[in-house]
Amino acid sequence: MEALSLPAALSLVAGGGAGLSPELRAALGASLPLLQRDYRFERVWFWGCIQGVRGAYYIAQGLGPDRAAPRSRLYSLNCLDWSLLTPATEEMLALAEEVKGRFQGDPSFEYSLAEINPEAAARLVQSGKEPVMKEEARLIATIEQIDRAVGIVPRGAFVKTPLGSVHENRHFEGLSLVEAKKLSSYFHFTEPTDLKNKTLLEKADLDPSTDFLNSLEHDIPQGKGSWSIQLEKGGSVVVLRSLLWLGLTFYHVPMTKQFGYVYFGTGEKNLDLPFML
């Protein structure tokens, strides 16, 4: 969620019970603008918080002029001192899938891969590295996975220019109440994969400037999907909660420009989803 509209946004997602203490909010209000100045980001988003067993990680994202470019991510243990995270690599993502369980809360903690997955450990040893995975790498990979899987934006909020870069749509005035209840009005904010699979008939209806991303309707499991859509306060806020990554909450106030998502959770994928629906 936008750093500048953080207080209002936090009260809109508080329906899930998770939030930030006044101390942390005040700290964020002071440190996020400084981040923007130091790293010369155009926008700073507060991504959320991953609860470890002994401590929590607070994550912020910085965006450059092209909103769809890979984002810089920073983490902090106290919302004041931020450290930049390296971009995620495919190798990190593959290793992070193996590691299960809670985050420990200590960035230098090392997961011993020999116990978890001996083959991956053997591969690492062969390539000359130790068979461990640092919690920091797991953090990077988890954030990337969450963003790819459930980072969503409303339809029409972002436009793609003919040059290929993506900007906020200044003409976006919010979804209507009817549109806001439909899963097809929201897009994953990552590289689209579904667009080529659509039939020509569907493609004819698409507007290439706004419909350049995957919509949510095709999220597995089909039918009920992996999202819970609720209208709170009698329809003045629409809140989507992901069932695949429990803790991700997206909010949007229909007919206004306010929207955003935040993650408050343990950083674990809910693999039991098919049994729970």
Question: Residue numbers of the site for another protein (CB under 8 A)?
Answer: 11-12, 14-24, 51, 53-54, 100-102, 169-171, 176-178, 224, 228, 230-231, 233-236, 241, 243, 246, 266, 271-272, 275-277
When the beta carbons of 37 and 167 are compared against another protein, the nearer one is 167
Q: Cis link prior to 221 (omega < 30° from 0)?
A: yes
Please state the closest distance from residue 238 (CB atom) to another protein, in A: 11
In whole angstroms, what is the distance from residue 160 CA to residue 195 CA? 15
Please state the closest distance from residue 96 (CB atom) to another protein, in A: 16
Please state the closest distance from residue 264 (CB atom) to another protein, in A: 9
Q: Are 239 and 15 in contact (CB under 8 A)?
A: yes
Measured CA distances, 124 to 92, 112, 118 (Å) = 12, 12, 10
Please state the closest distance from residue 130 (CB atom) to another protein, in A: 20
Query: For residue 112, what are the β-bridge partners?
Result: 132
Please state the closest distance from residue 15 (CB atom) to another protein, in A: 7
When the beta carbons of 169 and 190 are compared against another protein, the nearer one is 169
Query: For residue 248, what are the β-bridge partners?
Result: 263
Sort 169 into a burial class: Cβ within 10 Å, 0-12 / 13-18 / 19+. Answer: middle
When the beta carbons of 2 and 179 are compared against another protein, the nearer one is 179
Angle at 102 between CA 125 and CA 1, to 5 degrees: 110
Q: Are 1 and 45 in contact (CB under 8 A)?
A: yes
Please state the closest distance from residue 86 (CB atom) to another protein, in A: 27
When the beta carbons of 128 and 234 are compared against another protein, the nearer one is 234
When the beta carbons of 187 and 227 are compared against another protein, the nearer one is 227
List of residues 6+ apart from 49 with CB closer than 8 A: 18, 20, 56, 57, 58, 59, 263, 264
In whole angstroms, what is the distance from residue 137 CA to residue 75 CA? 12
When the beta carbons of 88 and 263 are compared against another protein, the nearer one is 263
When the beta carbons of 66 and 91 are compared against another protein, the nearer one is 66
When the beta carbons of 123 and 269 are compared against another protein, the nearer one is 269
Determine the distance from the C-alpha atom of residue 55 to the mean position of all C-alpha atoms in its chain, rounded to a whole number. Answer: 20
Please state the closest distance from residue 106 (CB atom) to another protein, in A: 13
Q: Are 231 and 181 in contact (CB under 8 A)?
A: yes
List of residues 6+ apart from 166 with CB closer than 8 A: 66, 67, 68, 158, 159, 160, 212
Please state the closest distance from residue 72 (CB atom) to another protein, in A: 25
